[in-house]
A and B are shown apart, each in its own frame.
Chain A
Amino acid sequence: MKHLIVSPAPHIRGGASTSEIMRDVLIALLPAAVASVVIFGWRAALVIAVCTASAVFFEWGYEKLLKRSVTVKDLSAAVTGVILAFNLPASIPLWQAALGSAVAVLLVKQLFGGIGKNFANPAVTARIVLFLAFSRTMTAFASDAVTGATAVTGATVDGITGATPLAIAKLGGAALEGMPSKLDLFLGNHAGCLGEVSALALLIGFAYLLIRRVISWETPVIYVAVVFALSAAFGRDPVDAILSGGLMLGAIFMATDYVTTPMTFWGRVIFAVGAGFFTTVIRVYGSYPEGVSFSILLMNILTPYINRLTVPKPLGGLKA
């Protein structure tokens, strides 16, 4: 008889692999990608393509350069690229989009040791960096800014322009007249970043992730519920609040990132409540209209502590 393998149990494995999970996330992002092209035109597809391709390229290049095993096949870099693109306006200059991918993959992920080792969500952090560095092009939703964006990139952006619903809510008063209808907010017929505008498309992706058991319900549902309740308490229209800005995108796809969020049920509850609280407070009192990415980053930083606080007591375990 030829040589047999002798190794410890278990001898069979089940469940999805890392790349299968990431593939499911990409599939779940697809409806929002289609919606972004429908709403903002082909420029949206271009931005998604540039972000994704550059994210994968930077991961591949860095690992090649450092003679590490190349991990682009796990598709996590592709997921980061698509989510980053979803956080950018359609008119973003392409070099800025690619720079965002470099920040996400190289600075936030690879310098900390690659997949599984980063403490901050790469796409969220890159969005914040771009937002602070290029505030003009990152907020070029308003009609007057579109011409500026066109001048930079030479491309034209069709579709929706104008103030984002959150900017309108921030201004308040007479500006509220310009608030899109709830149906338009739900479908995505309003100004905003590529992937954040259509709540419908994002919810389809959410349903897919739940069915595939990639994520559990608690983070997105509690996050959105807390924003709903607090917005109402602050006197804002709660339905508008949950349908506008990056909340749905953040709650479904960014606050559920495995690596940078808590691992247990109660940990995720704390994370979601904290993120919902900071999002609303920033929206209401902050200088910026939107607070989703800041609050997710803040909760990312707290995640190791949340994990330590919420170590579950094993069945039959005695107090240590």
Chain B
Amino acid sequence: MKKLPGVRTPHRKNTANDPAEKLPIPPLVRIPMAMHIGAPAKLIVAPGDAVKVGQLIGEADGFVSSPVHSSVSGTVKSVETSDAATGENGVFAVIETDGLQTPLETLAPPIVGTREEFIAAVRDSGVVGLGGAGFPTAVKLSVKDVAAVEYIIINGAECEPYITSDTRTMTDDLDLLWEGIRLLKRFFSAKILIGVESNKPEPIKLMTARAETEPLARVCPLPPVYPQGGEKVLIYNLTGRVVPEGKLPIDVGCIVINCTTLAAVARYILTGMPLVEKRVTVDGSAVKNPKNVIAPIGTPVSALLDFCGGLGEDVGKLLLGGPMMGVAIPDASVPIKKSTNAVTALNARDARAPEPSACIRCGNCITHCPLGLVTVDIQNLYLAGKIESLSVYRPNLCMECGCCAFSCPAKRPLTQYMKLAKAALRNHEAAKQQSVN
């Protein structure tokens, strides 16, 4: 079957063979209540309260929401309402750690006899899409018709350069991953496929061996083309199905779960310990000793960087995530979230954006777009202010993977134009709706 196009990014999986090291507990963590898509969690602790590891500190606020647990033991020092560095609004619980990491005594494995109990347990675990999207996993699993789920796809396609945290899940946490697969097999009748790129030989070898002794899932090696791990891309490349515009994977009988997400669910169901720590790849041209680090959620990025030998002299850019889709942060005080899978630090040379020149209409952005969007025309219509003509080109399908800008010989910021075009079209259509009403 023909696979969707993409780009050949450099892999730079320098840390693929390094099991994660535990970060020493930082003196202070800052845990955001908004680490997922949906309503932020409601803070239920106050300054002065003593907290333990795994203790609920933020309640899920509605259906599309997720609870937040303390990642450390210590005392709530203060509550902040915005991030000083990013200006991001939201509630942050600042906790002074005692370094003991005492777990909450009442933590116990949940009882999961039925699918409803399983989904309730997933909700209580605080697990959200750990591949980066942060969509509450329980919401994803709450399907109306369980028979409609034909495929559950485990996403092990870690296609961003540098990042190896999922790679390490598939090797170090293989038992947890398989426990997760057993649970899915128990509560869903779907076929389970594991999508993983061929540039990860060790996970493929281990998982294939496991799938032979316990044949619950099929390991599907895929070409190491970016963005293989994109949800729509993975579904198409494994099943040939197309998720139509405005629909969800479940509408074509698929659920996609990141491998680390599934392992985190399994950990909760086995031990009762909710999602409180993350394996984070710290790498990039400005990092002295690249490592995989297991850190409590809320740890400032600076603590991770210090643990990896500090930054090189000429750091130019800090990213939460990888270089293709990561978000640049203005300073290292920003805390890591549930969905943070990497901290990438680029040196000044790598951080410099190239000077854009005139579009030469080569069509690279079209041939490299996994979805076949005509990026060049969307760019031109946006720049010409012809917003009403944009809808034909369906810019809202764009997943902002960055292939267009990556492949552009004129070095134009095409992904940025796609974002702007999407927003402009949304505003235009909202205004049209308003004038009709």
Chain A interface residues (CB < 8 Å from chain B): 1-2, 4-18, 20-21, 71, 74, 76, 114-117, 258-259, 263-264, 307, 311-318, 320
The residues in B between 378 and 437 inclusive whose CB is less than 8 angstroms from any CB of A are 391-394, 397, 400, 402, 405-411, 413, 415-416, 419
Report if A5-B316 is in contact (Cβ < 8 Å); known contacts: A258-B360, A259-B360, A316-B397.
yes
Asked if B232 and A10 make an inter-chain contact with CB atoms under 8 angstroms apart, the answer reads no
B325 at the interface (CB under 8 A from A): yes
**From B319, B344, B391, B411, contact of A320 by CB (8 A):** B391
**From A10, A314, A315, contact of B324 by CB (8 A):** A10
Question: Which residues from chain B contact A11 at a C-beta distance below 8 Å?
Answer: 317, 319, 323-324, 326, 328, 344, 346, 350-351
The residues in B between 344 and 369 inclusive whose CB is less than 8 angstroms from any CB of A are 344, 346, 350-354, 357-364, 366, 369
Instruction: Write the nearest CB–CB distance from A111 to chain B, whole angstroms.
Output: 15
Would you give 7 A-B contacts (Cβ < 8 Å), ordered by A? A7-B353, A11-B346, A17-B411, A20-B409, A117-B358, A263-B362, A311-B393
Which of these binds chain A: B20-28, B185-193, B238-246, B274-282? B238-246
Report if A8-B391 is in contact (Cβ < 8 Å); known contacts: A20-B409, A318-B244, A318-B246.
no
Question: Which residues from chain A contact B245 at a C-beta distance below 8 Å?
Answer: 316-318
Report if A15-B407 is in contact (Cβ < 8 Å); known contacts: A4-B328, A316-B244.
yes
Report if A5-B352 is in contact (Cβ < 8 Å); known contacts: A263-B376, A315-B370, A316-B232.
yes
Q: Smallest CB-CB separation from A265: which chain B residue?
A: B367
**From B318, B327, B406, contact of A14 by CB (8 A):** B406
B331 at the interface (CB under 8 A from A): yes
Interchain pairs with CB closer than 8 A, number: 168
Asked if B392 and A311 make an inter-chain contact with CB atoms under 8 angstroms apart, the answer reads yes
B183 at the interface (CB under 8 A from A): no
Mostly, the B contact residues are loop
Question: Which residues from chain B contact A76 at a C-beta distance below 8 Å?
Answer: 360
Convert B99-112 into 0s and 1s, putting 1 for each residue whose CB lies closer than 8 angstroms to a CB of A. 00000000000000
Instruction: Write the nearest CB–CB distance from B181 to chain A, whole angstroms.
Output: 28
Report if A17-B409 is in contact (Cβ < 8 Å); known contacts: A1-B331, A314-B394.
yes
Question: Which residues from chain B contact A17 at a C-beta distance below 8 Å?
Answer: 354, 409-411
Q: Smallest CB-CB separation from A268: which chain B residue?
A: B363
Instruction: Write the nearest CB–CB distance from B225 to chain A, whole angstroms.
Output: 12
B377 at the interface (CB under 8 A from A): yes
Cα–Cα, bound, A259→B362 (Å)? 7
Cα–Cα, bound, A124→B366 (Å)? 26
B371 at the interface (CB under 8 A from A): yes
Knowing that A14-B10, A14-B407, A320-B392 are A-B contacts, what are 9 other residue pairs whose CB atoms are under 8 Å apart, sorted by A's residue number? A4-B328, A4-B351, A5-B352, A10-B323, A11-B319, A12-B324, A258-B361, A263-B361, A311-B374
Q: Smallest CB-CB separation from A308: which chain B residue?
A: B377
Mostly, the A contact residues are loop
Asked if B360 and A13 make an inter-chain contact with CB atoms under 8 angstroms apart, the answer reads no
Question: Which residues from chain A contact B350 at a C-beta distance below 8 Å?
Answer: 11-12
Question: Which residues from chain A contact B327 at a C-beta distance below 8 Å?
Answer: 9
**From A9, A21, A116, A314, contact of B359 by CB (8 A):** A116
Which of these binds chain A: B1-9, B65-73, B133-141, B170-178? B1-9
Cα–Cα, bound, A9→B400 (Å)? 8
Asked if A258 and B362 make an inter-chain contact with CB atoms under 8 angstroms apart, the answer reads yes
Asked if B372 and A7 make an inter-chain contact with CB atoms under 8 angstroms apart, the answer reads no
Question: Which residues from chain A contact B316 at a C-beta distance below 8 Å?
Answer: 4-5
Question: Which residues from chain A contact B344 at a C-beta distance below 8 Å?
Answer: 11
Chain B interface size range: 35 or more
Asked if B416 and A8 make an inter-chain contact with CB atoms under 8 angstroms apart, the answer reads yes
The residues in B between 302 and 343 inclusive whose CB is less than 8 angstroms from any CB of A are 311, 315-319, 323-332
Cα–Cα, bound, A71→B398 (Å)? 32
Question: Which residues from chain A contact B332 at a C-beta distance below 8 Å?
Answer: 1
B373 at the interface (CB under 8 A from A): yes
Asked if A263 and B330 make an inter-chain contact with CB atoms under 8 angstroms apart, the answer reads no
Cα–Cα, bound, A264→B372 (Å)? 10
Top 7 A-B residue pairs of the complex, sorted by shortest distance between their CB atoms:
A10-B402, A263-B363, A116-B358, A317-B394, A258-B362, A11-B323, A320-B392
B224 at the interface (CB under 8 A from A): no
Convert B245-279 into 0s and 1s, putting 1 for each residue whose CB lies closer than 8 angstroms to a CB of A. 11100000000000000000000000000000000
Cα–Cα, bound, A320→B396 (Å)? 12
* Most-contacted residue by chain B among A9, A11, A317 (CB, 10 A): A11
Asked if A316 and B242 make an inter-chain contact with CB atoms under 8 angstroms apart, the answer reads yes
Cα–Cα, bound, A4→B85 (Å)? 12
Question: Which residues from chain B contact A115 at a C-beta distance below 8 Å?
Answer: 357-358, 360
Instruction: Write the nearest CB–CB distance from A76 to chain B, whole angstroms.
Output: 8
Asked if A312 and B372 make an inter-chain contact with CB atoms under 8 angstroms apart, the answer reads yes
B161 at the interface (CB under 8 A from A): yes
Instruction: Write the nearest CB–CB distance from B344 to chain A, whole angstroms.
Output: 8
Cα–Cα, bound, A116→B412 (Å)? 13
Q: Smallest CB-CB separation from A311: which chain B residue?
A: B374
Instruction: Write the nearest CB–CB distance from B376 to chain A, whole angstroms.
Output: 7
Cα–Cα, bound, A1→B311 (Å)? 10
Cα–Cα, bound, A16→B411 (Å)? 9
Cα–Cα, bound, A314→B369 (Å)? 9
Asked if A15 and B393 make an inter-chain contact with CB atoms under 8 angstroms apart, the answer reads no
Question: Which residues from chain B contact A258 at a C-beta distance below 8 Å?
Answer: 360-363
Question: Which residues from chain B contact A20 at a C-beta distance below 8 Å?
Answer: 409
Instruction: Write the nearest CB–CB distance from B11 to chain A, whole angstroms.
Output: 12
